[in-house]
């Protein structure tokens, strides 16, 4: 018997769990990257890679969460489409939000950006002339800070990140609320709290992430 859920409810639960795992990573990721503001990014990355079990364990969990989230998100979208293949003469969106209606497309945009992001900062193949692997700082550490700064000094790269972060913000706007509602937290008392929390979290994460390229473009970070 398959351990993977075959019901719509089961798939939504997997979506909720994997989505919340990915949100936790998003928070952890930007918290670590914010060390750039204190000129500690190279130290942070070096310390992180002294824990290979943590790095690789985290990567395995993230790949599994991302794959399941993408797979079941696509299945649910196809199931919803199959349930109502003919478009309505008049489309009415009562409680549906823009972020909810375009959730699948913001997800696609985030996934495409993630591939680019990995090639840029993890595999370091998009701009080999500034790759941290081939440049070291004064202490002999891979100069990740230099790579990040020089990358975001290019308006085109910062523009791509801005567009991706807008897509991520809209995806989280619906996703965070939806993941908690999946657990049944959608009564009249809890729903407004969940909605406000989802909005606040999405806005904070968007501003937190965009602060790095914005600070570099404006010269606040060099």
Would you say 15 and 76 are in contact if contact means Cβ atoms under 8 Å apart? yes
Q: Where are the domains of the chain?
A: 8-217
Would you say 27 and 205 are in contact if contact means Cβ atoms under 8 Å apart? yes
Tell me the two tokens of residue 176: 């965070």
Q: Helix crossing, 52-83 with 8-33: angle to 10°?
A: 140
Q: Measure Cα distances from 129 to 97, 126, 144, 159 in Å.
A: 43, 9, 13, 20
Would you say 163 and 156 are in contact if contact means Cβ atoms under 8 Å apart? no
What pLDDT does 191 receive? 81
Q: Which CATH number fits domain 8-217: 2.60.40, 1.20.1300, 1.10.10, 1.10.287?
A: 1.20.1300
What pLDDT does 59 receive? 96
> What is the residue-level pLDDT of the chain in tens, covering all 222 positions?
455 677 888 888 999 999 999 999 999 999 999 999 999 999 999 999 999 999 999 999 999 999 999 999 999 888 877 766 555 444 444 455 777 788 989 999 999 999 999 999 999 999 999 999 999 999 999 999 999 999 999 999 999 999 999 999 999 998 988 888 887 776 777 788 888 988 999 999 999 999 999 999 999 998
What pLDDT does 80 receive? 76
Nearest CA to 113 out of 61, 159, 172 is that of 159
DSSP string over 29-97: HHHHHGGGGGT-HHHHHHHHTT-HHHHHHHHHHHHHHHHHHHHHHHHHHHHHHHHS-SPPSS---SS--
| Angstrom distance (rounded) from CA 47 to CA 113 | 27
| Angstrom distance (rounded) from CA 68 to CA 62 | 10
167 forms bridges with which residues in the sheet? Answer: none
What pLDDT does 159 receive? 97
Angle at 28 between CA 124 and CA 57, to 5 degrees: 70
- 184: alpha, beta or left? (left if phi > 0; alpha if psi -120 to 50): left
The H or E element spanning position 101 is helix 98-101
Would you say 155 and 108 are in contact if contact means Cβ atoms under 8 Å apart? no
Would you say 144 and 45 are in contact if contact means Cβ atoms under 8 Å apart? yes
Q: Residues with Cβ < 8 Å from 72, sequence gap 6 or more?
A: 11, 12, 14, 15, 18
What pLDDT does 87 receive? 52
């Amino acid at each position: 018997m398959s351990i993977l859920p075959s019901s719509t409810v089961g798939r939504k639960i997997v979506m909720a769990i994997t989505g919340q795992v990915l949100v936790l990573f998003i928070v952890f990721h930007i918290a670590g990257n914010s060390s750039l503001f204190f000129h500690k990014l190279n130290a942070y990355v070096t310390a992180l890679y002294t824990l290979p079990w943590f790095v690789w364990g985290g990567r395995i969990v993230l790949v599994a969460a991302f794959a399941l989230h993408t797979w079941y998100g696509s299945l649910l979208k196809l199931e919803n489409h199959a349930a109502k293949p003919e478009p309505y003469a008049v489309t009415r969106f009562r409680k549906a939000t823009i972020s909810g209606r375009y959730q699948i497309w913001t997800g696609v945009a985030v996934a495409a950006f993630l591939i680019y992001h990995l090639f840029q900062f993890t595999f370091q193949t998009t701009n080999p002339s500034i790759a941290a692997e081939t440049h070291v700082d004064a202490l002999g550490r891979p100069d990740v800070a230099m790579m990040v700064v020089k990358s975001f000094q290019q308006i085109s790269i910062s523009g791509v990140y801005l567009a991706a972060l807008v897509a991520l913000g809209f995806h989280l706007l619906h996703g965070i609320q939806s993941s908690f509602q999946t657990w049944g937290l959608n009564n009249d008392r809890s729903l407004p709290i969940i909605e406000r929390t989802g909005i606040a979290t999405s806005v904070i994460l968007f501003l937190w992430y965009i602060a790095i390229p914005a600070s570099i473009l404006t010269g606040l970070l060099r």
